[in-house]
């Protein structure tokens, strides 16, 4: 297909998705419609890509995992476990500290869509100071993800270290200044919200962090199992146990709790995200973008193409896998390697088809423009800062 038509279909498909989400339409419908629009570029392959996605064990596992996380979060919220946990944390940390700690701690949950687990806790805390939904969404996403700039178990970070031949911890050391900047930017945002004048009294057993047990059991068991089996399989084993423990703590389980915890549209949305991503890869649009943007100055090319590929794929590991072979002859310094990583990471972070963005948006239900007015500027500022710092390194 003509390159111009393919690029036009890509832009139009993203435009349709964004317009539908902005007008509060169901995201699952929006992402499937966007996939079919882009699929017009490869009509002979759409059915094959659909079946490949529908029968992919990793996609089915991801859907199951996200649905179980949703159910676990609902049980904990409806039974008051989340509220008690927040009250406990309030005794140990400042108001801002609690807001930062919740997504940061749970952000190390190594599964796509894990932001759904921290969302109810951020919501419970944020409501106390009259925080807007878009602001809560930003905190949930920002502090969940920025740790992956320096987290040594982050798969994309491990991959780029392997591809570049640069020591993993040397790359981490290189990225600490940008991580510190990201943390500080988030802190400036969080601290503008005043702590509630009067804290609620916590339960008698608040000091023992009992509410963390279902989450910690899930995370620690999955982490241990992932040393021997795949991460997805580990969570397929660990999450049901975490749910059972949460139900035991809940005591009185009613029909409403079960109904709220089951979300068919969420499962369809996750499938749609993976289908759309596979359509993008099958169409070859990433190769077309690469061929055009490589004619720009090196720093501009690395920064812009990495951000765009991260944004389009909403999958940082895939973005690194696509980008590194393109730029490998030019990545002559550790700074340029970090520039590629951070630019693709920030594109991935704010992508409207990134599972964590989708799940946070579905949970908080902010205005679309409201949420992106808050999320996009610091992400773009981080990319520009990385270009200025690492481009001159």
| pLDDT band at residue 198 using 50, 70 and 90 as cut-offs | low
Report the pLDDT averaged over residues 67-91. 79
* Predicted confidence (pLDDT) at residue 45 exceeds the cutoff of 50: yes
Q: Identify the pLDDT of residue 338.
A: 95
* pLDDT tops 60 at residue 199: no
Has residue 200 got a pLDDT over 70? Answer: no
* Mean pLDDT across 299-327: 85
Give the model's pLDDT for residue 51: 96
SS3 track for the chain: CCHHHHHHHHHHHHHHHHHHHHCCCCHHHHHHHHHHHHHHHHCCCHHHHHHHHHCCHHHHHHHHHHHHHHHHHHHHHHCCHHHHHHHHHHHHCCHHHHHHHHHHHHCCCCCCCCHHHHHHHHHHHHHHHCCCHHHHHHHHHHHHHHHHHCCCCCHHHHHHHHHHCCCHHHHHHHHHHHHHHHHHHHHHHHCCCCCCCCCCCCCCCHHHCHHHHHHHHHHHHHHHHCCCCCHHHHHHHHHHHHHHHHHHHHCCCCHHHHHHHCCHHHHHHHHHHHHHHHHHHHHCHHHHHHHHHCCCCHHHHHHHHHHHHHHHHCCHHHHHHHHHHHHHHHCCCHHHHHHHHHHHHHHHHHCCCCHHHHHHHHHHCCCHHHHHHHHHHHHHHHHHHHHHHHCCC
Lowest mean pLDDT among 172-181, 229-238, 316-325, 357-366: 316-325
pLDDT band at residue 206 using 50, 70 and 90 as cut-offs = very low
Name the range with the highest mean pLDDT among 116-120, 141-145, 277-281: 141-145
In this prediction, residue 112 carries a pLDDT of: 59
Query: Which of 48-52, 118-122, 167-171, 244-248 is most confident?
Result: 48-52
| pLDDT for the residue 291 | 75
Reported as a pLDDT band with limits 50, 70 and 90, residue 83 is: confident
Q: Is residue 154 over pLDDT 60?
A: yes
- pLDDT level of residue 183 (50, 70, 90 thresholds): very high
pLDDT over 80 at 344, yes or no: yes
- What is the pLDDT averaged over residues 32-56? 93
pLDDT band at residue 393 under the 50/70/90 scheme:
low
Query: Is the pLDDT score of 144 beyond 80?
Result: yes
Assess whether pLDDT exceeds 60 at residue 133: yes
In this predicted structure, what is the pLDDT of residue 341?
96
Average pLDDT of span 307-324 = 83
pLDDT at 205 over 70: no
Q: What is the pLDDT of residue 382?
A: 96
pLDDT at 182: 96
* 387 or 226, greater pLDDT: 387
185 pLDDT exceeds 80?
Answer: yes
């Amino acid at each position: 297909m003509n390159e111009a038509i393919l690029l036009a279909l890509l832009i139009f498909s993203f435009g349709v998705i964004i317009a539908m989400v902005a007008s509060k339409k169901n995201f699952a419908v929006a992402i499937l419609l966007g996939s079919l629009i882009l699929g017009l570029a490869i009509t002979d392959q759409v059915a094959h890509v659909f079946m490949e996605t529908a029968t992919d064990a990793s996609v089915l596992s991801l859907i199951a995992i996200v649905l179980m996380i949703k159910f676990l979060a609902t049980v904990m919220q409806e039974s008051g476990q989340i509220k008690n946990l927040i009250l406990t944390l309030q005794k140990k940390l400042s108001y801002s500290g609690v807001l930062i700690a919740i997504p940061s701690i749970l952000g190390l949950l190594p599964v796509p869509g894990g932001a759904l687990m921290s969302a109810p806790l951020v919501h419970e805390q944020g409501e106390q100071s009259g925080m807007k939904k878009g602001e809560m969404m930003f905190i949930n996403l920002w502090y969940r993800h920025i740790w992956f700039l320096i987290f040594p178990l982050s798969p994309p970070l491990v991959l780029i270290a392997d591809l570049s031949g640069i020591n993993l911890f040397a790359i981490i050391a290189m990225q600490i200044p940008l991580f510190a900047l990201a943390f500080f930017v988030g802190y400036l945002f969080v601290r503008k919200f005043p702590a509630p004048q009067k804290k609620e009294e916590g339960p008698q057993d608040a000091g023992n962090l009992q509410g963390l047990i279902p989450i910690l059991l899930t995370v620690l068991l999955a982490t241990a199992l992932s040393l021997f089996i795949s991460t997805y399989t580990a969570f397929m084993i660990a999450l049901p146990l975490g749910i059972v423990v949460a139900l035991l703590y809940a005591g009185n389980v009613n029909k409403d709790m079960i109904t709220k915890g089951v979300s068919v549209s969420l499962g369809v949305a996750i499938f749609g995200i993976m289908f759309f991503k596979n359509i993008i890869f099958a169409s070859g649009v990433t190769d077309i973008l690469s061929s055009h943007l490589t004619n720009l100055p090196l720093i501009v090319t690395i920064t812009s193409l990495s951000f765009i590929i991260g944004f389009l794929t909403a999958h940082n590991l895939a973005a690194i896998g696509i980008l590194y072979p393109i730029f490998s002859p030019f990545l002559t310094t550790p700074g340029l390697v970090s520039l590629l990583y951070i630019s693709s990471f920030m594109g991935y972070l704010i992508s409207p088809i990134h599972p964590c963005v989708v799940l946070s948006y579905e949970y908080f239900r902010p205005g679309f423009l409201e949420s992106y007015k808050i999320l996009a500027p610091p992400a773009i500022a981080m990319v520009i800062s990385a270009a200025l710092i690492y481009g001159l390194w």
